[in-house]
Chain A
């Protein structure tokens, strides 16, 4: 075993940032003297803001280099080999850096992400070395009730957004007497801005498989299905490899661990692109080959699911927690968190934040801790306006409530939801009306069309928001928006419709003044809604270079005899081309 281990983070986002080119380059130079160091693959560790990432293990110390090129990586490796010292350029994580630099990793508590970015997801042996498949071994002789009791003790709730107790679902399915039952892993991660499930599937596919095997044993199912978005080709590939490896080692298939009757196998179903299929009953319809439309519950899937058989549907993050809970003990998991929300939760943090990426923290952590102490606050030091939680089904938590703790009930009190863990940080340059419109555009186009209020009501709401952002809103519109929102919430069958108005309602609750500024003053305070932005040329700054006039598509700029330019207000189509073009900061927006 060589002393220097180099691992390249090959998650799909890492690859997009150039990690594959780094790996290919290193592979070539590695061939020259393979004894000196080893080259391996791993997945994303969650430091998304510095991708591509290269992990180097040297003398039992971990160094992570980021934002790095193939040649840069080569130089780093040379420095290790020749001088035995870690170069400081590109270094993003190391115990030698000041502690504050490492907050992003060190302030996290990893249960679900424990293997992501640590092991090579394409090698089952590495998963086994981390204690993989030991949980299946441990429960092999347990009764279903004992397994479910253990999960109940952990307090684990559905991490996909439902927040329903996992053990309750399992117990219901376990009581059914039908011979055939199903375990489904819901990997149809559709919330824009959430990518933890992709990362877990890519980085720790065996963890998800092991969770499913345990679920199968607990409810008495012999078949598992992973329903995964087709937009995640790498995740599908890695899970496929994992399934084949697990079959070879008899962790999947007939008589697992040689125990007669302990049968369980898993196959993958690719989703075909419909957000609503994240909803349990729609997902079942889709697996059965039908249009993915939700149906009425009860009967719950645990009683009557796929092909009318008892079916347990768990999200990726929920399942990957199961082996850890069995291995490390339910009481240790339950020790983390609050009274009603136990364990940890993974968040995908994006938007105007300094360090974006995947963060796993214990329940009960204040949102502000995640944003400031882990992610370093906003990128350019701007003031945070709000944090959006729960994607298109959620809402925003305004700056003054950022000390709210991460807990299902506490977040609902603010008007947002925990959701699947998308967290979008917004600063003063984000227009809340525009964000509300954005989410509604999404849910409106993803509505399956079954319920009238969801189908047409969301469209009417969207039209009103379009009206407001284009400067034609009237103050009565706000009342109509609220009325429609309440009707949609109470007259829709599934979660998509019931929660579709949430982003608008929560924006209205905390940022009504922004809506009013759009309607009454015809102005967008965040300068995002193009129809409401006015451009002006400052005469004392204009040098008369004619660039703005050349680029104006509407002939809305004239110049006087001193070649100082002026915008003709009535001709201006507010495209902003002149503003982008001016190199002298002579054009201002208001």
Chain B
């Protein structure tokens, strides 16, 4: 099966109801730190799971970095999300070893089970699906990462049971 590329990154970032004061604190904290734009965006994303539209305006106002520049940086790196992500991000490794060991089958199985494509989030906001380049666990190929946990030596069935386990844990 063909693995779809992660191209549907929505460049239209979302203006959501967020805690503006938290955002302001983070941004003001970074005043005067050179090269701090990427760590700043990382901190904002840690707080909100994505980078809300308001952030770019505030960065412009407080740090004098034009929106075009900060948005340019945010869209350059795959780490940054402009839309809310689910509680768990499922990262499917598409590295060489995983590719040779049929990672696409894992992707297809999850995508079909959760009914989402790469880059999308489930309606219940529980899972976001992502394709990533090598996780560095090649001997465990095919491997995936859910949150900070890595799982290896998977097949299309075992991967679904891992997701089901999380679902049942979350529904309690």
Partner of A350 from B6, B80, B139, B145 at Cβ < 8 Å: B139
Which residues of B are found within 8 Å of A232, using beta-carbon distances?
Answer: 136
A445 in contact with B6 given A287-B35, A307-B34, A430-B100 (CB within 8 Å):
yes
Q: B152 at the A/B interface (Cβ < 8 Å)?
A: yes
Which of these binds chain A: B15-23, B90-98, B119-127, B163-171? Answer: B90-98
Whether B77 pairs with A357 at a CB distance below 8 angstroms is no
A468 vs B119: C-alpha distance when bound (angstroms): 28
Of chain A, the residue at the smallest CB distance from B36 is: A289
Q: A339 at the A/B interface (Cβ < 8 Å)?
A: no
Which of these binds chain B: A22-30, A184-192, A562-570? Answer: A184-192
Q: B32 at the A/B interface (Cβ < 8 Å)?
A: no
Question: B51 to nearest A CB, angstroms?
Answer: 11
Which residues of B are found within 8 Å of A193, using beta-carbon distances?
Answer: 95-97, 134, 138
- Which residues A426-475 have CB closer than 8 A to chain B? 426, 430, 435, 438-439, 441-442, 445-446, 448
Whether B150 pairs with A350 at a CB distance below 8 angstroms is no
Which residues of B are found within 8 Å of A424, using beta-carbon distances?
Answer: 96-97, 100
Q: A543 at the A/B interface (Cβ < 8 Å)?
A: no
Which residues of B are found within 8 Å of A16, using beta-carbon distances?
Answer: 137, 140, 143, 149-152
Which residues of A are found within 8 Å of B133, using beta-carbon distances?
Answer: 190, 192, 275, 442, 446
A192 vs B97: C-alpha distance when bound (angstroms): 8
Whether A192 pairs with B139 at a CB distance below 8 angstroms is no
- The prevalent SS among residues of A at the interface is mixed
Of chain A, the residue at the smallest CB distance from B3 is: A441
Which residues of A are found within 8 Å of B148, using beta-carbon distances?
Answer: 233
- Which residues B76-91 have CB closer than 8 A to chain A? 76-80, 91
A345 vs B103: C-alpha distance when bound (angstroms): 29
Q: B49 at the A/B interface (Cβ < 8 Å)?
A: no
Whether A195 pairs with B136 at a CB distance below 8 angstroms is yes
Q: B73 at the A/B interface (Cβ < 8 Å)?
A: yes
A530 in contact with B151 given A12-B136, A231-B132 (CB within 8 Å):
no
Q: A422 at the A/B interface (Cβ < 8 Å)?
A: yes
A350 in contact with B96 given A13-B139, A274-B77 (CB within 8 Å):
yes
Q: B135 at the A/B interface (Cβ < 8 Å)?
A: yes
Which residues of B are found within 8 Å of A51, using beta-carbon distances?
Answer: 139-140
A351 in contact with B96 given A16-B137, A17-B152 (CB within 8 Å):
yes
Whether B96 pairs with A391 at a CB distance below 8 angstroms is yes
- Which of B136, B150, B151 has the most chain A CB atoms closer than 10 A to its own CB? B136
- Which residues B1-19 have CB closer than 8 A to chain A? 1, 3, 5-6
A441 vs B34: C-alpha distance when bound (angstroms): 35
A350 in contact with B138 given A272-B79, A292-B77 (CB within 8 Å):
yes
A441 in contact with B5 given A191-B134, A192-B95, A351-B100 (CB within 8 Å):
yes
Whether B79 pairs with A352 at a CB distance below 8 angstroms is no
A281 vs B134: C-alpha distance when bound (angstroms): 22
Which residues of A are found within 8 Å of B110, using beta-carbon distances?
Answer: none
Q: A558 at the A/B interface (Cβ < 8 Å)?
A: no
Q: A286 at the A/B interface (Cβ < 8 Å)?
A: yes
A291 in contact with B134 given A15-B150, A530-B1 (CB within 8 Å):
no
Of chain A, the residue at the smallest CB distance from B148 is: A233
Partner of B135 from A15, A231, A290, A348 at Cβ < 8 Å: A231
Proximity string of chain A (177-219) to chain B, C-beta cutoff 8 Å, 1 when within and 0 when not: 0000000000001111111001000000000000000000000
Which residues of A are found within 8 Å of B3, using beta-carbon distances?
Answer: 441
Q: A273 at the A/B interface (Cβ < 8 Å)?
A: yes
Of chain A, the residue at the smallest CB distance from B99 is: A438
Which residues of A are found within 8 Å of B149, using beta-carbon distances?
Answer: 16
Proximity string of chain A (258-289) to chain B, C-beta cutoff 8 Å, 1 when within and 0 when not: 00000000000110111100000000001111
A232 vs B99: C-alpha distance when bound (angstroms): 20
Partner of A231 from B1, B97, B136, B138 at Cβ < 8 Å: B136
A448 vs B143: C-alpha distance when bound (angstroms): 27
A190 vs B5: C-alpha distance when bound (angstroms): 18
A430 vs B39: C-alpha distance when bound (angstroms): 41
Which residues of B are found within 8 Å of A289, using beta-carbon distances?
Answer: 34-38, 73
Whether A195 pairs with B138 at a CB distance below 8 angstroms is yes
Partner of B76 from A17, A195, A292, A357 at Cβ < 8 Å: A292
Which residues of A are found within 8 Å of B96, using beta-carbon distances?
Answer: 192-193, 350-351, 388, 391, 422, 424, 438-439
Q: A49 at the A/B interface (Cβ < 8 Å)?
A: yes
A422 vs B100: C-alpha distance when bound (angstroms): 14
Partner of A445 from B5, B99, B151 at Cβ < 8 Å: B5
Question: B82 to nearest A CB, angstroms?
Answer: 14
Of chain B, the residue at the smallest CB distance from A233 is: B148
Of chain B, the residue at the smallest CB distance from A293 is: B76
Proximity string of chain B (36-51) to chain A, C-beta cutoff 8 Å, 1 when within and 0 when not: 1111011000000000
A273 vs B151: C-alpha distance when bound (angstroms): 20
A12 vs B149: C-alpha distance when bound (angstroms): 9
Which residues of B are found within 8 Å of A519, using beta-carbon distances?
Answer: none
Whether B100 pairs with A190 at a CB distance below 8 angstroms is no
Which residues of B are found within 8 Å of A230, using beta-carbon distances?
Answer: 42, 79
Question: B143 to nearest A CB, angstroms?
Answer: 7
A481 vs B34: C-alpha distance when bound (angstroms): 44
Whether A17 pairs with B140 at a CB distance below 8 angstroms is yes
Q: B106 at the A/B interface (Cβ < 8 Å)?
A: no
Of chain A, the residue at the smallest CB distance from B96 is: A193
Question: B54 to nearest A CB, angstroms?
Answer: 20
Partner of A272 from B72, B80, B94, B99 at Cβ < 8 Å: B80
Whether B137 pairs with A12 at a CB distance below 8 angstroms is yes
Q: A48 at the A/B interface (Cβ < 8 Å)?
A: yes
Whether A195 pairs with B38 at a CB distance below 8 angstroms is no
Question: B29 to nearest A CB, angstroms?
Answer: 15
**Given A192-B95, A230-B79, 10 further pairs, Cβ under 8 A:** A48-B138, A49-B139, A51-B139, A192-B94, A195-B138, A198-B136, A350-B141, A351-B100, A356-B97, A424-B100
Pairs across A and B, CB under 8 Å, 20 listed: A16-B137, A17-B153, A189-B136, A192-B96, A192-B133, A193-B97, A193-B138, A230-B42, A270-B39, A273-B77, A292-B77, A350-B100, A350-B138, A350-B139, A351-B97, A351-B100, A356-B97, A424-B100, A442-B94, A442-B133
7 cross-chain pairs, A with B, having the tightest CB-CB distances, nearest first: A48-B139, A192-B95, A272-B77, A289-B37, A193-B96, A16-B150, A195-B136
Could you tell me which B residues sit within 8 Å of A by CB distance? 1, 3, 5-6, 34-39, 41-42, 72-73, 76-80, 91, 94-97, 99-100, 132-141, 143, 145, 148-153
